[in-house]
Amino acid sequence: MALQTCVCSEPGLRLDRFRKELRLLSSEHSGPRGHTLARNCEIGWNDGSLFRLRQALSNASGSPACALGRIAELVLCSQQRLRHRDYVGVLRNLETANALAPLASTCMERLVKENKAELASGLSQEELYDNFRNAVRVLGPLTMRDEEEEGEQKDFFQQPIPQEEWLQRVAERMDEEKVEKLRWRSRTHPESNVFFGVPPLRGAGAPKEPRDSATEDEVCGLQSKAPRRATAFSGPSRARQLSASGCVWLLENACIEDRKIILFGRESEAESLPRKLLACGEFGSFEFNAVELRHPAARHLYPRNSSEVDTLVIAGALASGTSLHNPFHLMHSTIPLVWQLHHPDYGLCIPRSELDIRLAFHSAFHARRQVHFWKAFSRHSNDMAQISDAEKPQRLVIPAQWRFWWGPLAEMPPLPLGADATAKCYPRVIFGRELLRTGLGGVVTPRVVTFYHRYLNAVFAQSREREGPATGRAFDAELKMYGAMGVNPPQRQDAASLSQIAPGGPMDLDYFTADGSKYLTQPPALLPLDKEEVVQVDDEAEVKWAQSTTKKALRNVNVLWVQRPKRASRWIANMEEILNWLQGFEHPRFSDLRVRVLVAHFERLHPAIQWHLARHADILVGVTGAAMAWGAFMHQNAVILDLFPPGSKFCNEGWGSNTVSHYGGLARLSGMQYTCMEHPAALHGSENPTSQQEALYLADREVKEKFGGFWHGQNVRLNMPKFQQVFLEAVAKVLPFLPPERTADH
């Protein structure tokens, strides 16, 4: 049967046939130009055909498999167009197939899981998007005028050429190299950029294919196996790249002085030593050029590292402020660094006790700014009595953040590069971090994220053994770390006190109960701030707890709702209406189900508490923002509901339809079920729109006039029928994956 007939039973059999024909059409050998499965290759591109096709498939019975059949046909059409030298036809067929991919996502996932056909490991959203993206890269540049063309307006925005001129230019400028790049490439193709499975980086450090044995992902270098011996700092500096990406370097016998890296070598050795390094990050890459070459004799002017630590890691490409306390951006550093330092594939295996960390920023201005704040922050570090009672609570916020995020990586907290009072030298300096990209590329795959969780558990277990039961006052751990954060040489001690944070520790409670939620209103769960600032946050409580009134509750679904404060914008205006509905929630299919809801302002909660809340949550809900990144710590197949105000252009509604967005991509890497929703804006002014059309107009005007064109400032009022429908779907999706302790009342 032809695929376009939408007879959707057993699609794997026809897809196996499709794969064989795809190989034939995309091969370089001359073969039959006809095709058997792709019969309807003529699509009107400007007459709304794509919209009508999507509508028809959405309404068709068994639409996911039906849409998959149409996608397969379009892929074959693209390669048939390539044989006829219709290069624009290649792009248009792939563009249509990519637009239909969200409709076929569930069918694609089922084929992969059931492994019905050879195609199950090939025709996926990832492979389809990779080939579509590749076609755009080949043909897209031809839509722009050349710089040397006469008559080109020298403006900031370059205007594309008319379509007729583009078609002519494609016909004239396509060569064999470009044609070869338009051929279909599978996931195993050497140049494939499919973003999970075969990684795009194939140098040292890139994670290999998943393995059968979990023992090959065991943590290495968690602690020293033998008494530590100081490594001699001597001889000239040496340098080599640790990964093909160029993002990570190993420098031997190097020093740091202020914000500079000092290497030692003669002029004849200068070519083998880098004078600038590539600092890679989520905001892009930049050249770190604060590298100086000095004569080997000058090394005697520099002291041996006073803390007796052999290795320094410099985490580069951070943005001032954003990457220091924002969980989404912090994970871009901590997850790849854990892989680099503690996975045997990478081979560094450096114990926490033998490591210093310094943070390098995008620009010298950002670096000076962070060093200034750091020195101001730590000026009383050696005498805690000098800090006033009013100042002390606010200063403990930073140690609390760094204790959680950086404590598992090193026993001593990191400093901004340039904060050291004197120069320090190390036998080994590791510069840079591999990339975590929630969209395309990067070394981080689901396997790397799983390893990160494995590493955290191992560090926490080790800390419990070393430290024993946590004792002392509520803030002792923060004070201890704060004392180690001074610019003077710190004492050798484990400043993290991770046993308090660990599962089973004092901070690990069932917060989704009335008693557990009360703990969140007290220190150390609630980070202390000045009383005046607490009043300014909101006139509502910091934490709200509620549960549905199901009489026979055998299964509990924990819903973690992140509510931003009013002053921070992206606030949900009808929260009371939502809570009232959830308290009376009864699932139409599951009468034994109870939902337990915790609504919290995350900005004041200890990061370790935020982590435990995510660990215990089954559904995470909130307006899009940094707090949604905590979904990466939820249990496998938990649900993330990401809410957006209108006009953001960052949300493609539907389950599994956002695999390369910020939090959709992070959910993909972490094994979560994700969807996003757009809801009406809650206007900041006094306007009272009388229709949906007027509300959209006023919201658009508010963004332009009040928020400078940025949608981030808009508050949200949830459309209740829309939210209720998606919430029911979320509950049904998470029920099969509830942890055992959530399946009985307790």
Do 260 and 129 sit in the same domain of this protein? no
Number of domains making up the chain: 3
What φ, ψ does residue 305 adopt, rounded to 5°?
-50, 120
Distance, in Å, from the CA atom of 142 to the CA atom of 319, rounded to the nearest integer, reads 34
Do 438 and 529 sit in the same domain of this protein? no
- Give strand pairing partners of 600: 543, 562
Domain boundary among 430, 456, 479: 479
Distance, in Å, from the CA atom of 277 to the CA atom of 240, rounded to the nearest integer, reads 11
Q: Are strands 715-716 and 355-361 parallel, antiparallel or unpaired?
A: unpaired
118: in domain = yes
712: in domain = yes
505: in domain = no
Q: What pLDDT is stored for residue 263 in this prediction? A: 93
Q: What pLDDT is stored for residue 24 in this prediction? A: 76
- What is the DSSP annotation of 491-538? PSS----TTTTSTTSTT----SSHHHHHHTTSTTTBPP--HHHHHHH-
Q: What pLDDT is stored for residue 451 in this prediction? A: 94
Q: What pLDDT is stored for residue 139 in this prediction? A: 85
Structure tokens at 337: 């660094």
Phi/psi-derived region of residue 126, left when phi > 0, alpha when psi is between -120 and 50, beta in every other case: alpha
Do 571 and 472 sit in the same domain of this protein? no
pLDDT digits (tens, 9 = 90+) for 83-122: 888 888 888 888 888 877 777 777 776 665 555 444 444 4
Domain span at residue 41?
3-146+158-181
Contact 467, 694 (CB under 8 A): no
Phi/psi-derived region of residue 610, left when phi > 0, alpha when psi is between -120 and 50, beta in every other case: alpha
Q: What pLDDT is stored for residue 465 in this prediction? A: 72
SS3 state of residue 426: strand
Domain boundary among 425, 454, 479: 479
Do 130 and 273 sit in the same domain of this protein? no
Q: In Å, how far from its chain's centre is CA 617? A: 19
220: in domain = no
55: in domain = yes
What φ, ψ does residue 346 adopt, rounded to 5°?
-80, -35
202: in domain = no
Do 322 and 174 sit in the same domain of this protein? no
433: in domain = yes
Q: What pLDDT is stored for residue 149 in this prediction? A: 53
Q: What pLDDT is stored for residue 169 in this prediction? A: 84
Neighbours of 642 (CB within 10 A): 24
Angle at which helices 607-616 and 397-405 cross, to 10°: 50
Distance, in Å, from the CA atom of 481 to the CA atom of 638, rounded to the nearest integer, reads 34
Do 430 and 323 sit in the same domain of this protein? yes
Q: What pLDDT is stored for residue 336 in this prediction? A: 94
* 210 burial via Cβ count (<10 Å: 0-12, 13-18, 19+): middle
Positions in the chain whose pLDDT score sits under 70: 1-17, 28-65, 109-122, 145-160, 187-188, 190-216, 224-234, 304-307, 377-396, 466-497, 528-541, 566-568, 683-697, 700, 703-711, 743-746
Do 34 and 93 sit in the same domain of this protein? yes
Do 693 and 580 sit in the same domain of this protein? yes
Q: What pLDDT is stored for residue 429 in this prediction? A: 93
Q: What pLDDT is stored for residue 650 in this prediction? A: 81
What amino acid occupies position 260? K
Distance, in Å, from the CA atom of 512 to the CA atom of 524, rounded to the nearest integer, reads 18
Do 55 and 131 sit in the same domain of this protein? yes
* 548 burial via Cβ count (<10 Å: 0-12, 13-18, 19+): buried
Q: What pLDDT is stored for residue 287 in this prediction? A: 87
490: in domain = no
Do 470 and 519 sit in the same domain of this protein? no
Do 684 and 728 sit in the same domain of this protein? yes
Do 453 and 548 sit in the same domain of this protein? no
